[in-house]
């Protein structure tokens, strides 16, 4: 039987709502650092090591989260505006 469970990888941006866990009644967006495979979980649950993102897509806190795999919603990565140094001629 093939493994149908989705694996989350470094850089994935996901939305966590109360579908993932009751602790996310106020939804948050996180960028995955890694799944933590060596922790005991219940069937269908997993531990994520992730950065919580603000509305601008910037990391504001590192978190270890226990979530229901089926409730984790993959998002498009936030677009970050590139800043460049301006060079002025003299």
pLDDT digits (tens, 9 = 90+) for 31-45: 999 999 898 889 999
Helices (H) and strands (E) in the chain, counts: 0, 5
Question: What is the count of structural domains for the chain?
Answer: 1
The helix/strand/coil state of 50 is: strand
Is residue 22 domain-resident? yes
Select the more confidently predicted residue: 3 or 35.
35
Q: Identify which has the larger pLDDT, 21 or 39.
A: 21
Residue 17 in any domain: the answer is: yes
Q: Is the pTM above the cut of 0.75?
A: yes
Is it the case that residue 85 has pLDDT exceeding 60? no
**Does 88 fall in a domain?**
no
Taking residues 19-40, what's their average pLDDT?
95
Give domain status of residue 1, yes or no: no
- CA separation for the pair 47, 40 (Å, rounded): 9
> Is 13 in a helix, a strand, or coil?
strand
Domain membership flag for residue 4: no
- Domain range spanning residue 20? 13-75
In a domain, residue 81? The reply is no
Residue 8 lies in a domain: no
Mean pLDDT of 52-71: 96
């Amino acid at each position: 039987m093939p493994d149908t469970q989705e694996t989350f990888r470094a850089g994935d941006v996901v939305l966590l709502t109360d579908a993932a866990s009751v602790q996310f009644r106020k939804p948050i967006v996180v960028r995955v650092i890694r799944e933590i495979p060596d922790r005991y979980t219940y069937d269908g649950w997993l531990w994520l090591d992730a950065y919580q993102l603000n509305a601008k897509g910037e990391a504001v806190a590192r978190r270890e989260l226990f979530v229901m795999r089926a409730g984790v919603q993959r998002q498009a990565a936030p677009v970050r505006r590139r800043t460049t140094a301006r060079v002025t001629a003299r």
